[in-house]
Amino acid sequence: MASATQLEFEKPIAELERQIDEIKKTAGDSQVSVAEAIEPLERKLSDLREEVYKNLTPFQRVQVARNPKRPFTADYIRLAFTDFIELHGDRAFRDDAAIIGGWARLDDDTVMVIGHQRGRDTKEQLKRNFGMPHPEGYRKALRLMKLAEKFHVPVLTFIDTQGAWAGLGAEERGQSEAIARNLFEMSQLQVPIIATVIGEGGSGGALALGVADRVLMMENAVYSVISVEGCAAILWKDAKSPEMREKAATALRITAPELLELKVIDEVIPEPKGGAHADHEAAAKSLQDGVHRHLEELRKMRPEKLVRRRRQKFLRLGAWTE
């Protein structure tokens, strides 16, 4: 059944899924005949998912990245890691539920995982502030990074936010300083850092967890200096029309393949057919494999080389020759 979050371009997929479900419900005990009936439909469904997601426009990828059915940081922690111990608070003001983090194990490696956390229902969204951190969230993240550095443990971050919270209280408590401090400290952290954009990476709120030795992106994630609506409002005074949002998404070049071409990111992590929200386990396995591979490479480098290469990596961004 199509849900309230069903995207327009996904409706043919949803209709085929509904047909398969109806056949299964009305079949009764005749499992053999059911298998014969639904096998061609399931093949068609697989092909349709692949075809639809192979031809997404930039703004359609934005819609997929924002889909509340996609796996969030907590889902990836549960599916790709073991022995997670969540740590709370920034030791200065309070705990910010928009960022979660703590110790975990990736196969046999102890790691520190930190990421933005959104909510699926209204209660969870309010608790997580729609995944938009206050300064204490970024200070908690920095505290955990420094703790990881103390014990020579790699840091893995997961980026999924529209941006930092811009409320009065956040500004009073130093939102800009908290983000800037994270950028500065992450540039000097003497342990491997891998950042993965798992959904929507927006503005400085995303970059505060994004200064890393390797920056990865899920196939249907987006990473941008501003939201497409904000861009359309500034440039064309129209943040609502689909045409202007598509125009902004195209102009910003925010999709994973484009950012890989621009060398803003280092690898695109493939998602299962139909997007990460279609199969959380497969998406988590794909992310786990990618992160593990890069971590093995980074572990071989001495701390001073890590810091030097990380600094050079970000200094090269935006450098062009004619």
Domain check: are 20 and 88 in the same one?
A: no
Domain check: are 188 and 39 in the same one?
A: no
Domain check: are 164 and 43 in the same one?
A: no
Domain check: are 49 and 66 in the same one?
A: no
Quick check: helix, strand or coil at residue 199?
strand
Q: For residue 137, what are the CA distances in angstroms to 73, 94, 173, 209, 279?
A: 15, 9, 11, 11, 29
Domain check: are 275 and 138 in the same one?
A: yes
Residue at 257 is within a domain: yes
Residue at 167 is within a domain: yes
Q: Is the pLDDT of residue 260 over 70?
A: yes
List Cβ neighbours of 308 (8 Å cut-off, separation of 6 or more): none
What CATH number is attached to the domain comprising 106? 3.90.226.10
Q: Is the pLDDT of residue 2 over 50?
A: no
Domain around 33: 9-55
Domain check: are 122 and 28 in the same one?
A: no
The pLDDT tens digits of the residues spanning 179-191 come to 999 999 999 999 9
Q: What is the C-alpha separation between 115 and 197, in angstroms, rounded?
A: 10
The pLDDT tens digits of the residues spanning 121-177 come to 999 999 999 999 999 999 999 999 999 999 999 999 999 999 999 999 999 999 999
Cα dihedral 50, 52, 57, 59 in deg (nearest 10): -100
Q: What is the C-alpha separation between 234 and 3, in angstroms, rounded?
A: 32
List Cβ neighbours of 146 (8 Å cut-off, separation of 6 or more): 185, 189
List Cβ neighbours of 13 (8 Å cut-off, separation of 6 or more): 45, 48, 49, 52, 274
Domain check: are 24 and 158 in the same one?
A: no
Domain check: are 218 and 201 in the same one?
A: yes
The pLDDT tens digits of the residues spanning 102-111 come to 999 999 899 9
List Cβ neighbours of 108 (8 Å cut-off, separation of 6 or more): none
**CB 158 within 8 Å of CB 117:** no
Chain CA centroid to CA 141, Å: 16
Residue at 321 is within a domain: no
- Which residues in 40-58 are b (16+ Cβ under 10 Å) and which e? eeeeebeebbeebbeebeb
Domain check: are 16 and 101 in the same one?
A: no
Domain check: are 118 and 251 in the same one?
A: yes
Domain check: are 214 and 150 in the same one?
A: yes
Domain check: are 20 and 141 in the same one?
A: no
Quick check: helix, strand or coil at residue 31?
helix
Residue at 48 is within a domain: yes
Residue at 128 is within a domain: yes
Supply φ then ψ for residue 196, to 5 degrees: -125, 125
Residue at 322 is within a domain: no
Mean pLDDT of the chain: 91
Residue at 44 is within a domain: yes
Count of the separate structural domains present in the chain: 2
